[in-house]
Amino acid sequence: MAKDTNYWLVKCEPHETSFDDLKVRPKRTGYWRGVRNYQARNFIRDGMNKGDLAFFYHSNCDEPGVAGIADIVKAGYPDPSQFDKKHRYYDEKATDDNPRWFSFDVKWKKKFKSFVHLADLKGNKKLNDMKVVQRGQRLSIQPVTKKEFDEVCKMGGV
Residues at the interface with DNA (CB under 7 A): 11, 37-39, 59-61, 64, 118-119, 122, 135-140
- Of 103, 116, 9, nearest in space to 52 by CA: 9
Query: Is 11 or 109 the residue whose CB approaches DNA more closely?
Result: 11
CA separation for the pair 78, 99 (Å, rounded): 6
CA separation for the pair 106, 119 (Å, rounded): 25
Query: Is 38 or 90 the residue whose CB approaches DNA more closely?
Result: 38
In the chain, where does DSSP find H-type helix? 19-23, 38-42, 118-123, 146-156
Query: Is 47 or 51 the residue whose CB approaches DNA more closely?
Result: 47
> What's the sign of the alpha-carbon dihedral 115, 149, 69, 16?
positive
- Minimum CB–partner distance for residue 59 and DNA (Å): 4
Query: Is 66 or 72 the residue whose CB approaches DNA more closely?
Result: 66
> What's the sign of the alpha-carbon dihedral 34, 38, 43, 49?
positive
- Minimum CB–partner distance for residue 138 and DNA (Å): 4
- Minimum CB–partner distance for residue 12 and DNA (Å): 9
